[in-house]
Structure 1
Amino acid sequence: MGCCCKEKIDEDMTGEEYMEKNRRCTDVLFTLIFLAFWVGMVYAGAYGFSKGDPRILVYGTDYQGNLCGKGALEDFKVRYFVNPYEVLEAGNTAGANIKDAKSICLKACPAASSTLSWVCNYPDSLDSRGLNAITSTTTSYDQWAAMNYDYYSSITTGSHQANSRVYKGPCYPVLLPTTESYGTCSYYAKQTSGAKTAFASLLSTNSQSTPESYDLDDKVTALSDAVAEMLSTPASVMERYIEDFAKAWVVCLVCGFFAPVVLSFVWLGIMRYLAGFFAYFVIAFVNIFAILCTLWLYMKAGVIGNDAIAASDEDGGSSYTDPSEDNQEVLTYAAYACTALTVILLLFTLLMLKRVRIAVAVIKVATQCIAAAPMTIVFPLIPVFVALALFAYWVAAAVYMYSAGDIEQQSCTLTAGAQPQRYCADSADAKNCHCGYETKMTKDLQYMLLYHLFGLLWTTQWLQALTYLTIAYVFALFYFRGGSFSEGMRGCCSSPVFQSFKKMTWFHNGSACFGSLLVAILQFIRIIVAYVVHKMKKAGNDSCCIKYAACCLQYCLWYLQKVLEWINKNAYILIAIEGKSFCFSAWEAISLIMSNILTVGAVNIVGDVLLFLGKLGVALTSGFFAFMYLDTDEYTEGDNRVSSPLLIVVFVIIFAFILAGLFMSVVEMGIDATLLSFCKDCKIHGGKPKFAPPLLAEVLGKYESKQKARNAANRQ
């Protein structure tokens, strides 16, 4: 086995006593740091919830930078773009967008009627173009709403009516019907004939014309699309798919959840009783396939049989070199290389047979532990749900923090004759003729969001670390107790999983915080690098050298993260076994793995193959069930007919694969924990494991000697 030197321990010590002899609280400082960090997380979230309002990110502001439904506009929750020409122009002007189009907050979307009506500026508009400034009166917002926002007939002085007729305000004609969509009035139909005729007559009487030559009736679709794009309305195809999911939710539940759970348990049973068969079948298949490939190459090269690749000579001449001869020569060399690889594979297989037996025994011991403590397989669902709740909170807090930024005018090009100046009565009126508003984050908010992001990464990794520690302790305890749990460990609160969680949280939460911090830092660096690379590409600095360097850097960081996660996982297992600090356990785990590299390799290869086959089989079988379910009359005809079963089947397959992976990860952790427990047992007993469960001990040829020793002890 290549075990390290024997450690000094009390020979009368039981396996459970060995596991507890050095256990103490580890890496406590990092628990305190983690708690202090979460105090900051709570403060950041509270700040966002108290200062931000996500509606501003979805709906935007009116032309004065106010959010509809807030403050003085509390009852005015609907945003209305007063000038449809300006909405169209926003999409055609460089540097401008729909945020630059003038909008006003109303109680409800205005209705286009047979008579001409208007929507006018706020009565107390910040510029000099509101009703109060024009008529020297005091009109409240409620009075303005009672007037249907129309005071066109009251502004008889100056050029206000003339400017209003050419869409320069303060009033704007209501010609197109609108309907509320996500708090915004969206255009949906052609102009009302009565209002259209009345407006045309008004323009003709005053010798005026609209600012554009085209008819708005031809632009209704474009207007609706412009508003819909601003609101990020899902495309019609996605809407159909969402409707399909709503109709086929039973299929998603049965085939995407219940079926994977049942099939995962079935596969665990197969692994428990047929792991050996599958392991040797895979080994035999790989070797036979390698031999067949070698023979095929020899046949095509003409060394064996008459099936060599040859070219026909239609002219019967021999004045040219047959290209097939070069092909045969290449195939011959390929056959020689394949022969060497096949021989090496066969020799390696023969050398690894004993370790394959150990690998199969380790897998069976892991599945025995799951059978003895079935809560083990369900336990990972708890941190998953906690992580989902954390993510939901994080997203909400992040959105609120982002929306807590300052509302400022955005930068755009103010060009004469173009939007927005084209629709201003006075281009020098900065309070009325300006670019639109947007939310800009301050430096403090940016740092707060980065802090919040790192908190999500760290906390997610911490949950995973505690899960690993809990599961590892259960499997290690099962191993060191000789393949059983004490009779007192029954029931929910006294089950091995519950006891393990309490112990690991109390003693080793600091180690979980430390290990998760390392991974979170690396993940955070990867995100920053990806963001910088994205910004460089967006700025046009995407030369081949930069792309290659960025790709190499990102790959190296990804690989480093995988290595660190592997070290962490094995460190958590040693922490569960011996109860020592993170750094010591990580070093000890690497030392044990290097000392037993062949056994570890065999176990990981066999285990990974079986687990992958399980995940793939569960996913594909669930997808097949979903397809068959959707192919019934219930979903091909009538009201529940789905437009396409493809997306639902793909969703079921992906979700089933993830769910099966969750269950298989418990088995994977169990295999690793059992293997490292076995390696540690070898080390402390000079290569002869003392605490191994009977199944594993039998494979090692130690079972009979252990039984004799136990019988002799019982006689005494």
Structure 2
Amino acid sequence: MNRNRRCTDVLFLLLYVAFMIVFFIIGIVGFTGGDPRILLYGTDYEGNLCTEDLPVRYWVNPLEIYELTQATHTYDMKDVKSICLKDCPSTGASGLNWVCNYPDSVDGRGYAGMTRAEWAANNYDYYSSLSADLKKDSLNNKGPCYPVLLPTVNNYESCTYYGNSSATAVTALGVEHVNNGCTASTCDYELLAVGPMVATLSSTVSDFLSTPMATFERYIDDFSQAWVVLLVMGFIAPVVLSFVWMGVLRYFTGLFAYLIIFMVNAMAIVCTLYLYMKAGVIGSDQVTAYVGTDMGENLEGYTDPSEDNQEVMKYCAHVALAITIILFLFTLLMLKRVRTAVAVIKVATQAIGGAPSVVFFPLAPVLASLLFGAWWIAAGIYIYSSGEIKQQTCTLEADKAPMKYCANQTAVPNANCHCGYESVMDESLQYTLLYHLFGLLWTTQFFQAMSFLTLASVFATYYFRGGSYGSSISGWINTPVIQAFRKMSWFHAGSAAFGSLLVAILQFIRIIVAYMVHQLKKAGKDNLLVKYAACCVQYCLWYLQKIIEWINRNTYILIAIEGKSFCASAMEALSLIFNNLATVGAVNVIGDVLLFLGKLSVSLTCGVLAFLYLDDDAYATGDNKVSSPLLIVIFCIIFGFVIAGLFMSVVEMAIDTTLLSFCKDCKLHGGKPRYAPPLLEQVLGKFETKAEKEAKKNKA
């Protein structure tokens, strides 16, 4: 611990620094060029984004939407003519309401005698001021005005049709046809029968608003509305609950360990007895078949299926009995190892108690992760929304929507007749988002690696000083945690960058593979062979990631102890673990179960509290309404699990560091530890070298 150290894996530290410089430059560029309103608001027929002043998108021609469901077409909802309004229009109570083009419409089919403010104040209606020709065009759904025959409701800033058509409005529209000299051959009489279309229209609009991307965009908006819930239930609550669980673990380690062993054996015995009971070997509560009461006795050659069921149950019961016996014998053989595990855990908690500031250390990476996560989300939203709004490609055919409803069909596309608009992400923007994603993976793993290195250094110091920190504590500025962090960040940040890069690469590959599988499913190419291959690849990648993470943790401990490079420390860590496999296995099983229970209880509690919080009227109605509490609750559970994991990592690293320090101590001193704390030495007893054992044997 006191040897002269040198900086390790410097090349990877330089690589990480260069990567993060580019990462933040990309974020700054995203802030300057992005517009998050794209994620919430739609575009109008001019290709302009709806704004806070006119936030609601309304599709003016229901017949154009209806034709989407009736025949083969080369356009979609983005091509249907829409306009931005303050609110969804309502049908007339005593007449007919109209929604007209913007008065300053770029296609020239507006009304110059009205400003946009006057147009909005007049419920978007200037039909009565139109010429006879424009009125007839409007009656043919070619604009500039469109009749409001169906009621609509604001659904995610878009107007969705519902209910029945207004009889009053339909009657008024019929009168308007007569007044303009229209006949069935000259005017669009389909508008008079839109009532039966309502279910189809509503379903089509809802499907458009429920696509995965549209849902994702709304969820992003939900985060801005419910940030208080995320802060309280995703950060503050997990911190408080983690402190409570660490306190319980500090004083009831032995009780929990033996209780887990007892419960596992008891459950195995109960399951075995239950299977024997259902097999009819014990009692008379065997499994019976679902047949009539006397059918089996009255049918010749009938075989009761209950006999097969009972036979299967017997085989299962015999297998369960064998597992129970093996488990019980294994428990008896491992009792000494369990005592070792409990001792290691107690020494670990003593190390935490000797430097109370170490309990608060996880707050540093938590706050760093929170700040970085806030930057990452904000920058990601702006980068994602920096795509250019472009007119998309569709086929304009005569007598087919959308060209069917164009006023001027002579030259298309033109200002009046064209395809719709959407935000387009070009290839460079897609690669930028992938780079941004990898930055999140690498940085979060780097924070975790530095946390592991610091904690390992603290607890290794405690072990190799015989169960104390000696004179290392000299004021809050120079606590063991501060000393360890300074030393690890100065000498071994490169090793942290190396280890975190390995995990980040595997995580990134897993995300890419999952995306490719999803795309194959969308394309209908997910046959049985592809599904099986994808499942195998994803499982292997997940398993490999877990192995790398496990190696990394133990490597960081050896780096903290000896100060060697990442690869050399990894080899030494694996050697120590395989040479002390039984002890390491017992300690890890007991410790991991206790810590997992803590993380699970903290995260689930946070999820329940978040759901109750969001169930309040403040988030169910009004300006702060969230479209769905599901994603926010899931994020609170994930954040709770991650934050609880950071706190539990203190205990976990204390356990692993104490164990590997003990193994290293034994290796350095011929099997007899020189620096073991009193409690650990008391439980493990006196250790003898091979020479001492042979001497005793020869003497006997």
Residue 541 of structure 1, aligned match among 521, 525, 529: 525
C-alpha displacement at 1:106, in angstroms?
A: 5.6
Counterpart of 1:366 in structure 2 is 348
Superposed CA offset, 1:138-174 (max 9, x none): 99867877987666566548x4332122220233345
User: How do 1:593-632 and structure 2 match up within 5 A?
Assistant: 593-615=577-599
Deviation at 1:345, TM superposition (A): 4.4
Counterpart AA for 2:546: K
Q: Secondary structure at the match of 1:493?
A: helix
Tell me how far apart the structure 1 counterparts of residues 284 and 174 of structure 2 sit (CA, whole Å). Answer: 88
1:439 to 397, 400, 423: 423
CA distance in 2, matches of 1:300, 1:111: 65
Q: Which 10-residue stretch deviates more, 181-190 or 515-524? A: 181-190
Equivalent residue in structure 2 for 1:32, among 5, 10, 14: 14
2:260 aligned with 1:276: no
Conserved 8 A contact 2:278-2:285 = yes
Matched residue, 1:165: 139
From the superposition, tell whether residues 623 and 96 of structure 1 become closer, same or farther in structure 2 (CA, over 3 Å): closer
Between 617-626 and 380-389, the greater mean CA deviation after superposition? 617-626
In terms of mean alpha carbon deviation, does 693-702 or 522-531 score higher? Answer: 693-702
Matched residue of 1:104: which SS? strand
**Is structure 2 residue 82 aligned with structure 1 residue 99?**
no
- What is aligned with 1:212? 190
> Does the 8 Å CA contact 1:22/1:578 hold for their aligned counterparts?
no
Higher RCO structure, 1 or 2 (CA under 8 Å, sep 6+): 1
Read off the aligned partner of 1:397 and give its amino acid letter: A
Q: For 1:501-526, what per-residue CA distance to the aligned partner results, in whole angstroms no more than 9, with x for missing partners?
A: 22222221111111111111111111
In structure 1, how many angstroms separate the alpha carbons of the residues matched to 2:683 and 2:381?
57
Secondary structure at the aligned position of 2:422 is classed as strand
Question: What is the distance in 1 between the residues matched to 2:488 and 2:270?
Answer: 51
- Percent identity, aligned pairs only, is 60
Structure 1 residues 687, 291: closer, same or farther in 2, change over 3 A?
same
Residue 392 (structure 1) aligned with residue 374 (structure 2): yes
Q: Does the aligned pair in 2 maintain the 1:82–1:172 contact within 8 Å?
A: yes
SS in 2 for 1:407: strand
* Offset, 1:268: 3.8
Structure 1 residue identity aligned to 2:386: A
Asked whether 1:83 is paired with 2:72, we answer no
Q: Does 1:381 align with 2:363?
A: yes
Residue 126 to residue 307, structure 1, CA distance change in 2 (3 Å): closer
Residue range with higher mean Cα deviation, 448-457 or 381-390: 381-390
**Could you tell me how far apart the structure 1 residues matched to 2:59 and 2:275 are?**
73
Partner SS, residue 59 of structure 1: coil
Residues 457 and 523, structure 1, Cα contact 8 Å, conserved in 2: yes
Tell me what 1:43 maps to: 25
Q: State the 1:549 CA deviation.
A: 0.9
The count of corresponding residues between Structure 1 and Structure 2 is 651
Partner-residue secondary structure (3-state), 2:470: coil
Secondary structure of 1:469's aligned partner: helix
- Determine if contact 2:36/2:381 at 8 Å carries over to the other structure: yes
Q: 1:692 aligns with which of 647, 658, 676?
A: 676
Taking the TM superposition and a 5 Å limit, the aligned residue runs for 1:551-630 are: 551-615=535-599
5 Å matches for 1:225-624?
A: 264-265=242-243, 267-283=245-261, 286=264, 344-345=326-327, 348-428=330-410, 429-431=412-414, 432-487=416-471, 489=473, 491-615=475-599
What is the CA-CA distance between 1:446 and the residue it aligns to? 1.2
Flag the 1:282–1:221 CA change in 2: closer, same or farther, 3 A: closer
Q: Once the two structures are superposed, what CA deviation does each residue of 1:296-328 show, in whole Å capped at 9, x if it has no partner? A: 99999999x9999899x999xxx9999999999
For the residue of structure 2 that corresponds to 1:64, the secondary structure is: coil
Partner Cα separation in structure 1 for residue 487 and residue 546 of structure 2: 28
**How far apart, CA to CA, are the structure 2 residues paired with 1:484 and 1:464?**
26
Deviation at residue 497 of structure 1 after TM alignment: 2.2
- State whether residues 271 and 364 of structure 1, in contact with CA within 8 Å, keep that contact through their aligned partners in structure 2: no
Q: Is the 8 A contact 2:460 2:657 kept in 1?
A: yes
Q: Secondary structure at the match of 2:466?
A: coil
State the alpha-carbon separation in 2 of the partners of residues 692 and 258 from structure 1.
37
Give the unaligned 5+ runs of structure 1. Answer: 1-18, 133-137, 631-644, 704-716
Paired residue secondary structure (2:685): coil
Q: 1:377 to 1:210 in 2, by over 3 A?
A: farther
Distance 2:145 2:8 in 1: 72
Q: Secondary structure at the match of 1:20?
A: coil
What secondary structure sits across from 1:552 in the alignment?
helix
* Alignment CA distance shift 1:179-1:533 (3 Å): closer
Aligned AA (1:665): S
Contact 1:260–1:618 (Cα < 8 Å) also in 2: yes
**The residue matched to 1:34 in structure 2 has which SS?**
helix
**Mapped partners of 1:102, 1:321: distance in 2:** 69
Q: TM-score, normalised by structure 1?
A: 0.75
Distance 1:46 1:648 in 2: 27
User: What is the CA-CA distance between 1:626 and the residue it aligns to?
Assistant: 11
1:485 is displaced (CA, Å) by 2.0
The Cα shift of 1:52 comes to: 2.2
Cα distance 1:516–1:440, how it changes in 2: closer, same or farther (>3 A)? same
Amino acid at match of 1:391: G
Distance 2:308 2:199 in 1: 65
Q: CA deviation at 1:566?
A: 0.6
**1:166-185 equivalences in 2 (<5 Å):** 166-173=140-147
Report the 3-state secondary structure (helix = DSSP H, G, I; strand = E; otherwise coil) of the residue aligned with 1:212: helix
**1:21 and 2:3 matched:** yes
Q: Check the 8 A contact 2:41/2:55 in 1, yes or no.
A: no
For 2:413, the aligned partner's letter is A
The answer to whether residue 656 in structure 2 is matched with residue 678 in structure 1 is no
Cα distance in 1, alignment partners of residues 151 and 285 from structure 2? 78
Q: What is the RMSD of the two structures over their aligned residues, measured on CA atoms? A: 5.1
* TM-score normalised by the chain length of structure 2: 0.77
Given that residues 470 and 501 in structure 1 are in contact (C-alpha distance below 8 angstroms), is that contact kept between their aligned partners in structure 2?
Answer: yes
Q: Give 1:274 deviation, angstroms.
A: 3.8
Cα drift, residue 262 of structure 1: 6.2
* 574-583 or 615-624: bigger deviation: 615-624
Give the letter aligned to residue 477 of structure 2: C
Per-residue deviation, residues 8-46 of structure 1 (Å, max 9, x unmatched)? xxxxxxxxxxx1304222112212111111121122222
After superposition, what is the alpha-carbon deviation per residue over 1:31-67, rounded to whole angstroms, capped at 9, x for unaligned?
Answer: 2111111121122222222222122243222222222
Rounded Cα–Cα distance in structure 1 between residues aligned with 2:197 and 2:65: 11
Mapped partners of 2:573, 2:88: distance in 1: 68
